[in-house]
Amino acid sequence: MGLRTPLYDSHLATGARMVDFGGWDMPLHYGSQIEEHHQVRREAGIFDVSHMGVVDITGADATAFLQYLLANDVGRLQAPGRALYTAMLNPDGGILDDLIVYRLADGYRLVVNAGTRQRDLEWVRGQAAGRQVEVTERRELAMIAVQGPLARARCASVMTDAQAALAERLEPFHGQAEGDWFIACTGYTGEDGLEIMLPAAEAAAFWNALQGAGCKPCGLGARDTLRLEAGLNLYGADIDEQTSPLAANMAWTIAWEPETRDFIGRRALERQRQAGDLPRQVGLVLEQRAVLRSGQKVMIDDREGVITSGSFSPTLGCSIALARVPRNTGDSARVDIRGKWLDVQVIRPGFVRNGRKLF
């Protein structure tokens, strides 16, 4: 038996197929992951993301601490309510986790991946030792993502007036508290939508209300095909401790300026940037009737790469993948699929955004 979120019973009641995910019992799907995927692109889907870690950083040194801990610069969050996406690196420049940081009225909130949650907490606590910083894991909160073109409207229809006002007007990468709830305009699907942190005791009622408003429960299967279509990394597949952000389409998340800001991994990254020979991340599109999968070999300009995550794209009706390939290669490649070499199109990572094909 794995760890269970406050919505475990709700998932069973909806007929979820449960699987283990990083030690948690989570819904893989509720019947058809492809149907769930379509529902998010066309209307609104809801995801239980309570397994992710919510960690508040407060105290006099909170800003300086996070400016050292994280590769992106929280100094860019010029007012409470703003958020950013960042890598958290080890001293070798490898990615310990990718996460979102929200600036709160007092301090910051980090949302980290479920699989790395424990390790991240130990790391953050270790780095915070000796500083005027409190690290508080918010275990009493559940988290629900509502994603899709109708997400905000359906969400607002089952919220209090004050919550609904936020739900309707928050801009992307902004989040704000309303009573015990924290409502953010962020997500992992490439659609408009919200991520809502709320007391665990209120989660099941809100989940049911969202369903009543027409939001469809969506599991990990749909979550994966949606984020892959959006070109978003999955920790443990596309990125890990051995991966540099510069090799994973995350160079834009590194705040090099000001040069005086030292952060964990900065020196290693500068050496990598100087050497300029890291691999790059690309998107692959297969028109033939087969599926690209993690670990398959890629040949591009006679040089070798590998698929880091692949699947079927329900929105495009064909298979797509993210791959790590050598720098300075072109835009056509072949992939070894079960012993046969098939041609693929090479594009920048990112296939669908707001329901539309990107290439």
Instruction: Using the rule CB under 8 A, give the single segment among 25-33, 146-154, 155-163, 168-176 that binds another protein.
Output: 25-33
Instruction: Using the rule CB under 8 A, give the single segment among 30-38, 189-197, 231-239, 301-309 that binds another protein.
Output: 30-38
Q: By CB under 8 A, is residue 33 in contact with another protein?
A: yes
Is the preceding peptide bond at 258 cis, omega within 30 degrees of 0?
yes
Q: 147-161 burial, b if ≥16 CB within 10 A, otherwise e?
A: bbbbbbebbbebbee
Instruction: Using the rule CB under 8 A, give the single segment among 29-37, 41-49, 64-72, 147-155 that binds another protein.
Output: 29-37
Nearer to another protein, 28 or 183 (CB): 28
Least spacing, CB of residue 289 vs another protein, in Å:
5
Q: What is the DSSP string of 209-242?
A: HHHHTTPEE--HHHHHHHHHHTT---BTTTB-TT
- 3, 34, 121, 358: which one binds another protein (CB under 8 A): 34
- Binding to another protein by CB under 8 A, coded x per residue (else -) over 168-197, reads ------------------------------
Least spacing, CB of residue 186 vs another protein, in Å:
25
Least spacing, CB of residue 357 vs another protein, in Å:
18
Nearer to another protein, 289 or 356 (CB): 289
Q: What is the DSSP string of 107-161?
A: SEEEEE-TTTHHHHHHHHHHHHTTSS-EEEE-TTEEEEEEESTTHHHHHHTTS-H
Other Cβ atoms closer than 10 A to 250: 22
Tell me how far the alpha carbon of residue 76 is from its chain's centroid. Answer: 20
Least spacing, CB of residue 86 vs another protein, in Å:
30
Query: Segment 195-254, which members bind another protein (CB under 8 A)?
Result: 221, 225
Angle between helices 220-229 and 33-42 (to 10 degrees): 50
Phi, psi (5° rounding) for residue 63? -65, -50
d(CA 209, CA 226): 24
Q: Are 102 and 175 in contact (CB under 8 A)?
A: yes
What phi-psi label fits residue 69: left (phi over 0), alpha (psi between -120 and 50 degrees) or beta? alpha
Q: By CB under 8 A, is residue 29 in contact with another protein?
A: yes
Q: By CB under 8 A, is residue 338 in contact with another protein?
A: yes
- Binding to another protein by CB under 8 A, coded x per residue (else -) over 277-296, reads ------------xxx-x---
Least spacing, CB of residue 336 vs another protein, in Å:
13
- 312, 346, 351, 352: which one binds another protein (CB under 8 A): 312
Q: What are the helix (H) ranges across the chain?
A: 8-13, 33-42, 62-69, 117-128, 151-156, 161-169, 200-212, 220-229, 266-275
Nearer to another protein, 276 or 317 (CB): 317
Could you tell me which of 301, 297, 281 has the C-alpha nearest to residue 341? 297
Least spacing, CB of residue 114 vs another protein, in Å:
20
Nearer to another protein, 63 or 315 (CB): 315
Binding residues for another protein, rule CB under 8 A, total 14
Q: By CB under 8 A, is residue 14 in contact with another protein?
A: no
Angle (CA) 148-149-153 rounded to 5° is 100
Q: By CB under 8 A, is residue 32 in contact with another protein?
A: yes
Nearer to another protein, 63 or 308 (CB): 308
Instruction: Using the rule CB under 8 A, give the single segment among 27-35, 109-117, 140-148, 169-177 that binds another protein.
Output: 27-35
Nearer to another protein, 221 or 231 (CB): 221
Which helix (H) or strand (E) covers residue 100, if one does? strand 95-103
Nearer to another protein, 130 or 339 (CB): 339
Phi, psi (5° rounding) for residue 74? -65, -15
Interacting residues toward another protein by CB under 8 A: 28-29, 32-34, 221, 225, 289-291, 293, 311-312, 338
